[in-house]
Structure 1
């Protein structure tokens, strides 16, 4: 019985940890870097789940989506993070992992 409970606990833990690896993501080429604002051009067009004001995970930071127009997505980074991003580099962007404080709390 003890062995079965341990097996179920390990299976549930594995399932919980693997769901973070399935977060939606995309990559794009940097077309413009204006200090804090970085514009990406996405090859297939902007993903439908990317909305203005949402927080994403990219380049070791948590940028905010400033604008989405067709294939272009504009992100606002801190000045330090944006300084490390160069023109024409490919940048991978994904949803932030759950539990990072980017979720919207509903209710009172």
Structure 2
């Protein structure tokens, strides 16, 4: 269904920079599941960060379990806010094309139907 582009290894290394797995949102989730819901995802991450005893996260991708902390979740939220969300270009173009097709076919909404609500603080 697709062809690997030249330099894909370097792009992968940008996504997974070290030998150890890192806390991140997988690109396919960011571009196809959460592209219109960044605020809701950030609210959920910050809600988790309020759990002082949080020590581990079991991600759906890469290696598990992953050491985690409230501080690291706060850093993740800041990282996600500090860069373009669900971009269209570069290595994201393929996923962006799928997303646009899903919107065009009416499979997913062009914008969220319900605004993200703040997660409870307690």
Q: TM-score range by the shorter chain?
A: under 0.3
- The structure whose residues are more often helix, as a share, is 2
**Highest CA radius of gyration, 1 or 2?**
1
- The structure whose residues are more often strand, as a share, is 1
Provide TM-score, normalisation by structure 1: 0.24
